Amino acid sequence: MAIHLDVQIATRDHSIPAESDFRRWAGGIQSPESGASACLRVVDREEARALNHQYRKVDKATNVLSFPASLPKGVDLHFLGDVVICAPLVAEEATRQGKDAHAHWAHLLVHGILHLQGYAHDEDDEAGEMEALETAILSQLGIPNPY
């Protein structure tokens, strides 16, 4: 089943993709749970830095953060959690890396949602699995391999 995405725009940056793009990209990610959902919050550099500092003890903005949901037992929701993407960093990275900005946004959203589903890239074998899955999902969405 495809993942439903709620979108919050908390930045004045006008270069971000349309909410429909975010929803389409999230819809390309399969979930074993019917009715799975997640929330995307697009933020400015200051909010990204504050969240990264508060939750990861790193005092700088980062491109994407994932916060898996921790729901109490008995709550029958399939909420995966929250993904936060920093708009100015995405634009800067796309330019610096010579990537299409929309493709970079799609990659970071897919990356963040896969983290919500328990995928990681701390170890080489985990990273390989996650990158292969990201590449497959993006390919199905018509987006080239980001690696």
pLDDT exceeds 80 at position 41: yes
CA quadruple 86, 93, 25, 78: dihedral sign: negative
Query: 3-state class of 31 per DSSP?
Result: coil
What are the pLDDT digits (tens) for 46-82? 999 999 999 999 999 999 999 999 888 888 889 999 9
Task: Quote the pLDDT of residue 104.
Answer: 97
Q: How far apart are CA 42 and CA 86, in angstroms?
A: 6
Decide if 37 contacts 79 (C-beta within 8 A).
Answer: yes
- Please enumerate in sequence order all residues whose Cβ is within 8 A of that of 17, keeping only pairs 6 or more positions apart, or say none: 102, 105, 106
Question: Across the chain, what does the average pLDDT equal?
Answer: 93
pLDDT exceeds 80 at position 99: yes
What are the pLDDT digits (tens) for 107-137? 999 999 999 999 998 887 888 899 999 999 9
Decide if 40 contacts 109 (C-beta within 8 A).
Answer: yes
Q: How far apart are CA 48 and CA 127, in angstroms?
A: 24
Q: How far apart are CA 44 and CA 15, in angstroms?
A: 12
- Joined tokens for residue 73: 């037992």
